[in-house]
Amino acid sequence: MNSLPKNKISDAMRYRWAWELVFTQSKINEARLLLQKSYRSGERLAIVALEFSTRCGVHPVWLQEDYKGLLELLQRPKDRWKKAAGIASSAFQGLRDKIKKDAKT
């Protein structure tokens, strides 16, 4: 920026670049905050990442490989039934234990 001549066009370019730096730094900070919030599930984090990538101004071509990898992950089948059965089984076991304990007293 210092090598630009002193004129109105150069002043406008300096102003624009200064704001580009501010925007870029704010997006870097936003990305750091998104990564620190680990309470999101994988799907929710993927949605947040996609929304962020559209807001940050990065051209989709630069993220093409990442998008392909994300699509592959999202296409994998989930075994929610098995997870739900495990949770239910654990709950029933806890209930059985409580009933047995109450019956003894």
Question: Are the C-beta atoms of residues 40 and 48 closer than 8 Å to each other?
Answer: yes
Average pLDDT score over residue span 54-61: 81
Q: Tokens 């993927």 label which residue?
A: 46
SS3 content of the chain, % helix, strand, coil (to 5): 80, 0, 20
Average pLDDT score over residue span 75-90: 73
In this prediction, residue 73 has a pLDDT band, given cuts at 50, 70 and 90, of: confident
Q: Rounded to an integer, what distance in angstroms lies between the CA atom of residue 45 and that of residue 64?
A: 18
Does the pLDDT of residue 2 top 70, yes or no?
no
Amino acid at 103: A
Query: Quick one: what percent of the chain has pLDDT higher than 90?
Result: 1
pLDDT of res. 20: 87
pTM of the predicted model as reported, rounded to 2 decimal places = 0.50
Q: Rounded to an integer, what distance in angstroms lies between the CA atom of residue 81 and that of residue 84?
A: 5
> Which helix (H) or strand (E) segment is 22 a member of?
helix 8-36
